[in-house]
Amino acid sequence: MKVFGGSASKSLTEKIAKHLSLEASFLDVFVFPDKEKRIRVREKVLDDDCIIIQSTNTPPDENYMELFLSIDCLKRSGAKSVKAFVPYLGYQRQDHIFRDGEAVSAEVIAGILDKSGLLEIYSFDLHTPKIIDMFNIPVHHLSALPVFSRKIKKDFNLGDLVLVSPDMGGIRRIKELSELLGNIPFATVLKNRNLNSGKIQDGQLDGDVRGKIALIVDDIIATGITIADTSNLLINSGVSKVFAFATHAVFAGRASEILQKSPLERVFVSDTIEIPDDKQFPKLEILSISEIAAEALKS
C-alpha cells in the first residue's frame, strides 16, 4: 500500500503513514497563473493499492478539485486500487433542501466521488449518518469520540462532569460519548437559530448542569458563534467551568477570536483539518486522530 497526501493534509498524512510503518508520498501540484491546478504522481504506482489523504475544508472547491485530479492521476498511472481518506468532508452540512430552489450539495459531491474510480472512502464524524446513503461506494465512518474520551478520562474527574450538546442534532453524539465515559449525565440546548446571523435565540437547557463542569461536544466549529453562545448560556445556568470538544476545526472568519474571548476554559479539536498558525489561539489544544485512521486503513 502507498499513502499519498494532498496539500490540505500533509501533516496528518505523515502521522498516518508513520503509524502504518510506511513512507508518506506527495503528489506534484502545479498552479497555473489562472489558478487551475495540474496534478502529477512522480513515483511508480503500477498494480499498487493507493490511499489519497485530503481534507476538503477552506477553500473547499480548490481542495475538492485537487482530490478529484489526484484520484484520476493515480488511476491513469496504473494503480490497482485507489481509496480516499477525506478526514473532513466539505459541503456535508448541505445534505437536504432548506429552502426552495437550493441544490443538495452533499449529494452532488457524493455523485462525483462515486464516478471518480474510487474503491472506497473514509471520513470522520459526518454531520449526519444519512450522508453515507448518498454514496454508492463503501463509506467507512470513523469518529474522534474515542480520542476525546481518553483525554477526558485523563484530565477530568468524571463525577464532576456533564456533557452538553449545543443542539438537538447532537444527541446521538453525546449519548455515544457518555457511554464511553461510563454513562455520565448530559444535557441539550433547545434553541431557535437566526438563519442570517447563526446566533442562538431563546436558548434553554434540557438537563441539570448547576455546579458541574460542562463539556460542550460538537462535530464542527465553523464561526465559533454557537459554541461561544452555548458557553455563555451554561455559565448563566450555574456551571463552574466550560470546555469544548469538536472534531472539525473549520474556524471560519473571526472564530478564533470569538472562542478566545468566550468563557471557555479550553477548546479541544482534532487534526482532521490542519489549522494554520494565524487561526490558533492560547485556549486551543489539538488532539490527533491519526492512530484511529491508521487502524481503519490496516483493517
The 3 state secondary structure assigned to 2-49 is EEEECCCCHHHHHHHHHHCCCCEEECEEEECCCCCEEEECCCCCCCCE
Quote the CA–CA distance of 234 and 166 in Å, as a whole number.
Answer: 10
Q: Mapping DSSP to helix (H, G, I), strand (E, B) and coil, where does residue 162 land?
A: strand
Beta carbons of 180 and 145 less than 8 angstroms apart: yes
83 is catalytic: no
Active-site annotation holder among 191, 241, 261, 279: 191
Q: How many CB atoms lie within 10 A of CB 107?
A: 17
Single out the residue of 55, 76, 59, 75 nearest to residue 67, CA to CA.
55
Helix-helix angle 60-76:105-114, to 10 degrees = 10
Quote the CA–CA distance of 241 and 234 in Å, as a whole number.
Answer: 9
Question: Which residues are the active-site residues?
Answer: 191
